[in-house]
């Protein structure tokens, strides 16, 4: 089942995360990325889609953020599985159930693995998501992986959403780039957005130069 992207404005460009595809969501030190990924998980849960989360964060912290951001707890133990770990050399059965598999942070969990090892893991993910029609979202931290491994992740994914920010004359400027998407379209432009910790607001009329 496709997972709708419930961010007004952004959903006109990427309406959903398709089933059977791997999407990379990348940023630097910016909480908007992880918030966006959790919103995808909450959307899936509201639709009754099973969610598997593999996280480098504290499990209770993730549960608390999902509860805070999703209002009333929209899941049961049978609809979501959250696993906390520090490394991910192999899949270990994750994503075997059709639904949504979220790995946050994929770059931290594969830290120290060379390009060949990351490629093997990505290819295993591709086989799994194609066979099971699982939607896979990999949250990555820009610059954490070595350049070869980072290039492998981008190359073997089906779509990439990049969250960027930089200081401007009037304060922090936030913008999105979508250099690759599942339908072959490119939206490689600096799409302005704002994030207040509770919602992401995309302004398609405003391009950050």
pLDDT digits (tens, 9 = 90+) for 186-209: 666 788 888 888 889 887 776 665
Q: Which residues pair with 175 in a beta bridge?
A: 164, 192
Q: How many domains does the chain have?
A: 1
Q: 86: burial class by Cβ within 10 Å (0-12, 13-18, 19+)?
A: exposed
> Tell me: the pLDDT tens digits for 94-111?
766 789 999 998 999 999
138 close to 157: Cβ distance less than 8 angstroms? yes
Over residues 59-69, the mean pLDDT reads 87
Residue 18: how many CB atoms within 10 A of its CB? 20
| Residue 135 counted as domain residue | yes
| Residue 198 counted as domain residue | no
| Residue 176 counted as domain residue | no
Task: Say how far apart CA 32 and CA 117 lie, in whole Å.
Answer: 29
| Residue 197 counted as domain residue | no
Tokens of 32: 């908007």
Which CATH number do you get for residue 144?
3.40.50.300
Is 153's pLDDT higher than 80? yes
Domain that holds residue 107: 3-20+30-161
């Amino acid at each position: 089942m496709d997972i709708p992207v419930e961010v007004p404005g952004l959903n006109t460009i990427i309406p959903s995360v398709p089933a059977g595809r791997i999407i990379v969501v990348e940023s630097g030190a910016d909480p908007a990325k992880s918030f966006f990924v959790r919103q995808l998980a909450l959307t899936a849960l509201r639709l009754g889609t099973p969610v598997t989360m593999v996280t480098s964060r504290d499990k209770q912290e993730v549960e608390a953020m999902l509860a805070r951001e999703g209002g009333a707890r929209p899941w049961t133990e049978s609809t979501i599985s959250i696993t906390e770990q520090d490394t991910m050399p192999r899949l270990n059965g994750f994503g075997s159930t059709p639904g949504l598999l979220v790995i946050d942070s994929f770059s931290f969990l594969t830290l120290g693995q060379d390009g060949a090892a990351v490629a093997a893991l990505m290819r295993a993910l591709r086989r799994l998501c194609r066979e099971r029609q699982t939607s896979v979202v990999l949250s990555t931290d820009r610059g954490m992986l070595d350049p070869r491994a980072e290039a492998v992740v981008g190359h073997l994914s089906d779509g990439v959403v990049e969250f960027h920010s930089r200081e401007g004359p009037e304060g922090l400027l936030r913008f999105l780039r979508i250099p690759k998407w599942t339908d072959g379209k490119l939206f490689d432009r600096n799409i302005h957005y704002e994030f207040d910790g509770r919602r992401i607001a995309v302004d398609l009329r405003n391009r950050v130069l």
